[in-house]
Structure 1
Amino acid sequence: MVLSALQGANLAARFALELSALGALAYWGFQLSASPAVRVLAGLGAPLVAAVAWGLFASPRATVQLPAPAQLAVQLAVFASAVAALVAAGRPQMAGALGVAAAVNAALLAWWDQ
């Protein structure tokens, strides 16, 4: 009973982390020192590209079913780009927190075969 609650919480945390990664990419884009048009394009475009890639290749109901290692690579790319975006936007502590949380979550997903 407790284990199933923890597993459910881990899945909910994964969803929150996915949304956090999209938010990090948007934050980076809107914080660029560029023209307003470039900031809007990056702030909307970067999370859109990540969300499309996740939906096509990495989500549990992905349109394109990849082998597990390739699916993991897409997930890693999205989270790594979000962490890098936060570092580039001058938020290294947030980047570290996101990276650690995503890594712990991924380890638990693998441990519990979710």
Structure 2
Amino acid sequence: MKGVLLALAFLLELAMLAAAGWWGFTLDAGWPVRVLAGIGVPLLLAVVWGVFCSPRAGVALPVPAKAAVQAACFLVGGALLALAGRPGLGAVLVALFAVDKALLTVAYHDPV
């Protein structure tokens, strides 16, 4: 079961990045701004995740701080989906992250 939860966590991380890209490419702006936002914001989120949240993160944070950064990244992803006109999908993304994180933490004492 842990493998399934970890796989879901990875898929949710990809969905978060896709949500940020979707928001950027749906902005009501010129194509250069849409391309910059559609590529730049997911890239920024990926860098933050890689530096602070990945299993091989460059900066080792205490567990509560790491959880806060992860939650903030997913809240940004959910908010960007809402801004792109998909508030329901944004809420589902955040809720699935919260449930998956809670199950991993409670059942396996894994603060991934």
- TM-score tier by shorter-chain length is over 0.9
Name the SS for the 2:28 alignment partner: coil
For structure 1, which segment, 92-101 or 22-31, has the greater mean C-alpha deviation from structure 2 after superposition? 92-101
- Count of residue pairs brought into register by the alignment: 109
Return structure 1 stretches of 4+ with deviation > 4 angstroms.
none
CA distance in 2, matches of 1:93, 1:66: 31
TM-score of the aligned structures, taking structure 1 as reference length:
0.93
5+ residue gaps, structure 1, are: 1-5
CA distance in 2, matches of 1:101, 1:71: 18
TM-score of the aligned structures, taking structure 2 as reference length:
0.94
* Residues 16-65 of structure 1, C-alpha deviations (whole Å, 9 max, x = no match): 00000000000000000011000000000000000000000011110110
CA distance in 1, matches of 2:12, 2:3: 14
Name the SS for the 2:17 alignment partner: helix
CA distance in 2, matches of 1:107, 1:33: 37
Corresponding residue of 1:113: 109
Corresponding residue of 1:79: 74
Name the SS for the 2:85 alignment partner: coil
Q: Does 1:50 align with 2:45?
A: yes
How far 1:113 moved relative to its partner? 1.6
How far 1:73 moved relative to its partner? 1.3
Percent of aligned pairs with the same residue? 50
Name the SS for the 2:20 alignment partner: helix
5+ residue gaps, structure 2, are: none
